[in-house]
């Protein structure tokens, strides 16, 4: 026990960093579930879209969305989500997969949706970047017209 105490006092920066990393890892694995929504991978999202008619909600800004988005995704920037919640009411019973560039803004949107009474909400883990890395198709504004 004395050796552990000595190690911790001599290496308090390393021990502190280890604790922070462990907290972040635990939060990434169970944080979404504690907040009331789950994370989903791109392949799981495709299954939900095909089998359960899931809605993909893209919360990126207009320019990001125009560069490329998931086919048939509803575009509603995070900054407008609270004001335009009524657009989502008709989809309340469906699974909703929320996507952004990397998964951070979509996490915020998932929290907002859960507070508004949407029960079946999923965060696209890794966002559109993960979708691209999985070699799944995106359409840009020119293609979708």
Contact 96, 120 (CB under 8 A): yes
Contact 130, 119 (CB under 8 A): no
100 catalytic? Reply is: yes
- Name the catalytic one among 98, 100, 110, 130: 100
Rounded Cα distance between 47 and 106, Å, is 19
Q: Which two tokens stand for residue 110?
A: 């998932």
- Closest by Cα among 34, 62, 32 to 125: 32
Rounded Cα distance between 28 and 143, Å, is 35
Catalytic residues: 100
């Amino acid at each position: 026990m004395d050796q552990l105490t000595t190690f911790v006092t001599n290496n308090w920066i390393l021990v502190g960093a280890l604790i922070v990393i462990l907290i972040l890892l635990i939060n990434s694995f169970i944080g979404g579930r504690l907040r009331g929504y789950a994370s989903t991978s791109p392949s799981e999202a495709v299954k939900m879209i095909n089998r359960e008619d899931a809605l993909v909600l893209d919360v990126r800004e207009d320019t990001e969305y125009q560069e490329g988005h998931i086919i048939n995704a509803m575009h509603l920037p995070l900054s407008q989500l609270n004001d335009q919640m009524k657009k989502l009411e008709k989809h309340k019973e469906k699974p909703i997969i929320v996507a952004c560039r990397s998964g951070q803004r979509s996490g915020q949107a998932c929290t907002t949706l859960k507070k508004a009474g949407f029960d079946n909400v999923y965060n696209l883990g890794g966002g559109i970047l993960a979708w691209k890395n999985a070699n799944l198709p995106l359409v840009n504004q020119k293609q979708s017209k």
